[in-house]
Amino acid sequence: MNRPRPIEYASATPQVREVFDDIRATRGVPDVNNFWKYLAADPALLKRTWETQKAVLAPGALDAVVKEMVYLAVSVTNSCEYGIACHTALARKAGMTDQMFTELMAVIGMANQTNRFADGFRLPIDEAFNK
């Protein structure tokens, strides 16, 4: 079997179901998305990843919508199709409007462009940035 397979709730072990239940309760969704069904192939990896995600995306100094937009910015820069689809949806759910989305895309595009200029022109770092 070459292609990884998802594990559905119905056939999951109690250890996996416990994580699935927590994801569903935390996010208020009837079923977990594919990401978690595939990671369930390794229950310890599933549990660790969910606990990190839960801690990292919990309310803090940054708003939920800001965290999701940063997540989306990384996914776009990595050209990760699943991450883009998933975190566009999660950012929308957290309050990202149409205008916020296009402004976000504009910043992502700009940053990717100027990062290459910085490397291509072999820029030395300004003193002020090292303080």
Instruction: Give the footprint of a copy of itself on residues 62-91 (CB under 8 A).
Output: 62, 66-67, 69-89
CB atoms within 10 A of CB 20: 20
Pick one of 11, 25, 28, 129: the residue that binds a copy of itself (CB under 8 A).
129
Q: How many residues bind a copy of itself (CB under 8 A)?
A: 81
| Rounded CA separation 34/28 (Å) | 16
Neighbours of 100 (CB within 10 A): 14
Select 9 or 101, whichever has its Cβ closest to a copy of itself: 101
Cα distance between residue 69 and residue 94, in whole Å: 10
Least distance to a copy of itself, CB of residue 30, Å: 10
Tokens of 21: 């239940």
Among 7-15, 18-26, 108-116, the segment contacting a copy of itself (CB under 8 A): 108-116
Distance CA 110, CA 122 (A): 18
- What residues from 7 to 66 belong to the interface with a copy of itself (CB under 8 A)? 33-35, 38-39, 41-42, 44-45, 48-49, 52-53, 55-57, 60-62, 66
**Nearest to a copy of itself of 23, 104 (CB atom):** 104
Can you say whether the dihedral through the CA atoms of 65, 66, 67, 68 is positive or negative? positive
